[in-house]
Amino acid sequence: MISFRSFSKSFGAQLAVDGLNLEVARGEVLALLGPNGSGKTTTLKAAAGLIVPSAGAVMLGEPPRSAQEPAAREVLSYLPQKVSFPDALTGREIVEFYRELRDLPGERVPKVMRFASLNGAGERMVGTYSGGMVQRLGLAVAMLPEAPVFLLDEPTAALDPDGLCAFDALVQHAREDGRAVLFTSHQLGDVERLADRFAILVGGRLVACLSASDLKDRLAERGVMRLRFAPVEGRDWTAEAVLPAVRPLAPAASWSGDELIVPGPASVRPRVLDLVRTLGIEVRGLTADEGQLGELYRELVAEAAPAHGEGAK
Ligand SMILES: Nc1ncnc2c1ncn2[C@@H]1O[C@H](COP(=O)(O)OP(=O)(O)OP(=O)(O)O)[C@@H](O)[C@H]1O
Ligand SMILES: [Mg+2]
Domain boundaries, the chain: 2-211, 223-289
Mutate to test the pocket of ligand 1, among 38, 185, 191 (most ligand atoms within 8 A of CB): 38
- pLDDT computed for residue 94 by the predictor: 95
Angle between helix axes 91-101 and 131-143 (nearest 10 degrees) is: 30
Q: Measured in angstroms, how far is the CA atom of residue 32 from the centroid of ligand 2?
A: 10
Q: Which of 51, 295, 294, 306 has its CA nearest to residue 202?
A: 306
Q: Measured in angstroms, how far is the CA atom of residue 204 from the centroid of ligand 2?
A: 12
Cβ–Cβ < 8 Å for 206, 219: no
State whether the beta carbon of 185 lies less than 6 angstroms from ligand 1.
no
Which distant-in-sequence residues (6+ apart) come within 8 Å of 129 by Cβ?
91, 121, 137
Average pLDDT over residues 77-98: 93
Q: Measured in angstroms, how far is the CA atom of residue 13 from the centroid of ligand 2?
A: 19
Q: How far, in Å, CA of 134 to CA of 185, rounded?
A: 17
Helix (H) or strand (E) holding 131: helix 131-143
Question: CB-based burial of residue 58 (10 Å sphere; 0-12 exposed, 13-18 middle, 19+ buried)?
Answer: buried
Mutate to test the pocket of ligand 1, among 8, 14, 36 (most ligand atoms within 8 A of CB): 14
Looking at ligand 1, which atom is closest to the CA of residue 201? 21
Looking at ligand 1, which atom is closest to the CA of residue 154? 27
Q: Return the residue whose CA atom lies nearest to atom 11 of ligand 1.
A: 16
> In this model, does residue 67 exceed pLDDT 90?
yes
- pLDDT computed for residue 34 by the predictor: 93
CATH number of 2-211: 3.40.50.300
Average pLDDT over residues 25-54: 96
Q: 306 or 260: whose pLDDT is higher?
A: 260
State whether the beta carbon of 38 lies less than 6 angstroms from ligand 1.
yes
Q: Measured in angstroms, how far is the CA atom of residue 41 from the centroid of ligand 1?
A: 7
Q: Is the pTM of this model over 0.75?
A: yes
State whether the beta carbon of 39 lies less than 6 angstroms from ligand 1.
yes
- pLDDT computed for residue 310 by the predictor: 44
> In this model, does residue 313 exceed pLDDT 60?
no
> In this model, does residue 80 exceed pLDDT 90?
yes
Q: How far, in Å, CA of 107 to CA of 152, rounded?
A: 23
Q: How far, in Å, CA of 197 to CA of 301, rounded?
A: 17
> In this model, does residue 86 exceed pLDDT 90?
yes
pLDDT tens digits, one per residue of 183-203 = 999 988 888 889 999 999 999
Cβ–Cβ < 8 Å for 48, 120: no
Mutate to test the pocket of ligand 1, among 11, 54, 201 (most ligand atoms within 8 A of CB): 11
Which ligand has the minimum distance to the alpha carbon of residue 35?
1
Q: Return the residue whose CA atom lies nearest to atom 1 of ligand 1.
A: 11
Angle between helix axes 293-304 and 212-221 (nearest 10 degrees) is: 100
Q: Is 297 left (phi over 0), alpha (psi -120 to 50) or beta?
A: alpha
Quote the mean pLDDT of the chain. 89
CATH number of 223-289: 3.30.70
Q: How far, in Å, CA of 79 to CA of 125, rounded?
A: 20
> In this model, does residue 236 exceed pLDDT 70?
no
Mutate to test the pocket of ligand 1, among 15, 20, 32, 41 (most ligand atoms within 8 A of CB): 41
Share of the chain above pLDDT 70, in %: 94
Q: Return the residue whose CA atom lies nearest to atom 12 of ligand 1.
A: 16
Could you write out the three-class secondary structure of 206-227? EEEEEEHHHHHHHHHHCCEEEE
Q: Measured in angstroms, how far is the CA atom of residue 296 from the centroid of ligand 2?
A: 21
Q: Measured in angstroms, how far is the CA atom of residue 40 from the centroid of ligand 2?
A: 5
- pLDDT computed for residue 2 by the predictor: 96
pLDDT tens digits, one per residue of 255-286 = 888 889 999 888 899 999 999 888 888 888 99
3-state secondary structure of 111: helix
